[in-house]
Amino acid sequence: MKKVLYPILSVIALLVGLPAAAQRNESHNAEIARHLELFDDIYRQLDIYYVDTLSADTVIRWAIKAMLDHVDPFTQYYPADDDELRQMATGKYAGIGSLIRYNRKEERAMVVEPYEGTPSQLAGVRAGDVILTIDGKDVKKKMTDEVSSMLRGEAGTSFELRVKRSGEAEPLTFRLTRQTIQLPSISYYGMKDDGVGYICLSNFTTGSALEMRHAYQNLQSRGMQSLVLDLRDNPGGSIDEAIHIVNLFVGKGQKVVYTKGKMASSNRDYYTTSEPLDTVTPIVVLVNGSSASAAEILSGSLQDMDRAVVMGSRTYGKGLVQAIHDVSDRGDLKITISRYYIPSGRCIQAYDYRHLTGDGRVGTVPDSLTRVFHTRGGREVRDGGGIKPDVEARLDSLSSIVYDVVQSDELLNFVTQYALEHDSIASPADYAMTDEEYAAFVAYMAESGFESHRRTDDVLKLLREAARLEGCYDRAESTLAQLEEVLKSDLSEELMRLREVIRPYIEDEIVCRYYYQRGRAEHLLLNDTVFDQAVELLKDREQYNKILHP
């Protein structure tokens, strides 16, 4: 018995003596191997017995996509032939430089805007041109991502683009040569009244900080006394570029961000490394719910350091960091490797992708569970839900009919016709539609067959269905009919009633046809109530200082 027990007890003692972490790691690896074996077995049986022959490339990509979709929306696989990742990182791609969108009536992609100075714009391609063929290949019913892929390619390669243009009896043909397109980070900057400078920073790609430095120095040379930095709808990008921009406004050697992840290599501290441009000029940073990632690092760091007043609505809440890893020779994996923390020590991640709610949605951290942190000057700030502005201010939400009009092909078609009839318009800061021009727009929409998807129609339909289920439809029928009549509206009357809301959107689109993105960004400020509030705050230095140093 002893001869049997001693070896057994020795093995038990050895196992107990192993570090717990090593045992867990061994168990974890065994579990991975078991499940990979299961996946391999299922795929092989599918390949042998499934009624149709399946492409291994297609099926495996399905599996990869399904797996990554359940991790978080930022962890993604990019095949070797996909240049989207490089474009996101650098802001560059090889193509003709046009924004396109699907036109439902034409069942084709349509050029919405040729970017200024790019091959498409220089060759004469215009907004409103409907794409017929690309190198002889018909693109009818092809979605924009497929058409966009056809327009892109190796820099220096040429192709033939055939388009249909309003006002032209025959299609137009262009011979275009693809070039490396550098998307600008700053769509517009300029001086406004009372020495207020304005910079609209739209992304954080390679060179963003250098663009920002040049824009800021230009405004300084023109007498800037204060700055509105617009980060609304900025999806973020490079952490390094965000750090460099923070460094323009705070001293050298300041910790701006630190990251924490599973691997030691993911833990890193980011400091400012250069002497700043300006540490005293008052700044208001504009943000909204679409300001994310690096835009939150920039706005949150300036808030934590009491260097700027943040104004707008709460930001998206992306506190996760991604890195690029090679996948053998078959592409790249952009994978979430850490969380980031801004100077106060807070992480602003708002969404918990690993724990869904009962109905399958991504859960967020409730305000009651967020923790209090403090800025350098002692102001309270919180984690867990994006950057909460120091001053709440937001644009009014759009009614359903306004949203449908703004997003419609009919509005773009009207603007295309307008551009054909007008060789030039006033400058972006001065242009305004006349009442007669707006009336022409209303008439055009009425004749075009435009239909708005009214939300009240959906609610009425649900009410009728509920009344039938409850057995009270006979009693409610006349009341519902009266309610439907009350809610019914004439399109022309609605458009005239909402003209002060809709008109600025038409003006923005018209200005873009003549002055491109820089003109649109400048003209948008004419009807931007949040920007107006920022300017008013910068004029009131006492109130500005009171917010930063209560």
Number of other CB atoms surrounding residue 325 within 10 Å: 10
| pLDDT value, residue 473 | 82
What is the b/e burial string over 43-76, where b = at least 16 CB atoms within 10 angstroms of the residue's CB? Answer: eeeeeeeeeeeeeeeeeeeeebeeebeeebeebb
Place of tokens 């490079």: 238
Q: Which CATH superfamily is domain 186-395 in?
A: 2-enoyl-CoA Hydratase; Chain A, domain 1 (3.90.226.10)
pLDDT in tens, the chain (550 residues): 444 444 443 434 444 455 665 667 788 889 999 999 999 999 999 999 999 998 988 888 899 999 998 888 899 998 877 777 767 666 677 899 999 999 998 999 999 999 999 999 999 999 999 999 999 999 999 999 999 999 998 899 999 999 999 989 999 999 999 999 888 899 999 999 889 999 999 999 999 999 999 999 999 999 999 999 999 999 999 999 999 999 999 999 999 999 999 999 999 999 999 999 999 999 999 999 999 999 999 999 999 999 999 999 999 999 999 988 888 777 889 999 999 999 999 999 988 887 767 666 777 777 777 899 999 999 999 998 899 999 999 877 788 889 999 999 999 999 999 999 999 999 999 999 999 999 999 999 999 988 877 777 778 888 888 888 888 888 888 888 888 777 667 889 999 999 999 999 999 999 999 999 999 999 999 999 999 999 999 999 999 999 999 8
d(CA 214, CA 216): 5
Report which residue type is found at 12.
I
Do 267 and 259 touch, CB atoms closer than 8 A? yes
| pLDDT value, residue 398 | 80
Number of other CB atoms surrounding residue 206 within 10 Å: 16
Cβ neighbours of residue 460 closer than 8 Å, sequence gap 6 or more: 480, 483, 484, 487
Considering 129, 304, 383, 390, which one is annotated as catalytic? Answer: 304
| pLDDT value, residue 456 | 77
Cβ neighbours of residue 473 closer than 8 Å, sequence gap 6 or more: 464, 467
Place of tokens 């009614």: 399
| pLDDT value, residue 21 | 58
Closest by Cα among 542, 442, 534 to 494: 442
| pLDDT value, residue 394 | 82
Considering 185, 293, 299, 313, which one is annotated as catalytic? Answer: 293
| pLDDT value, residue 20 | 62
Q: Output Rg (C-alpha) for the chain, integer angstroms.
A: 29
Per DSSP, 32 falls in state H
Tokens linked to 486: 């009350």
> Is 293 assigned a catalytic role?
yes
Q: Which long-range contacts (CB under 8 A, 24 or more apart) does 164-168 make?
A: 164/106, 164/129, 164/130, 164/132, 165/126, 165/128, 165/129, 165/130, 166/128, 166/413, 166/416, 166/417, 166/420, 167/417, 167/420
CA end-to-end span of the chain: 80
Cβ neighbours of residue 144 closer than 8 Å, sequence gap 6 or more: 100, 101, 102, 109
Q: Are strands 137-138 and 130-134 parallel, antiparallel or unpaired?
A: antiparallel
Q: Do domains 92-182 and 186-395 have the same CATH topology?
A: no
3-state secondary structure of 167: coil
Do 291 and 231 touch, CB atoms closer than 8 A? yes
d(CA 137, CA 134): 5
| pLDDT value, residue 133 | 97
Task: Please determine, looking at this structure, whether the domain spanning 92-182 carries the CATH number 3.30.420.40.
Answer: no
Which phi and psi (to 5°) does residue 261 adopt? -140, -175
What are the structural domain ranges in the chain?
92-182, 186-395, 397-527
Cβ neighbours of residue 89 closer than 8 Å, sequence gap 6 or more: 205, 206, 237, 238, 324
> Is 304 assigned a catalytic role?
yes
Considering 187, 208, 313, 318, which one is annotated as catalytic? Answer: 318
d(CA 386, CA 379): 17
d(CA 283, CA 305): 12
d(CA 129, CA 113): 9
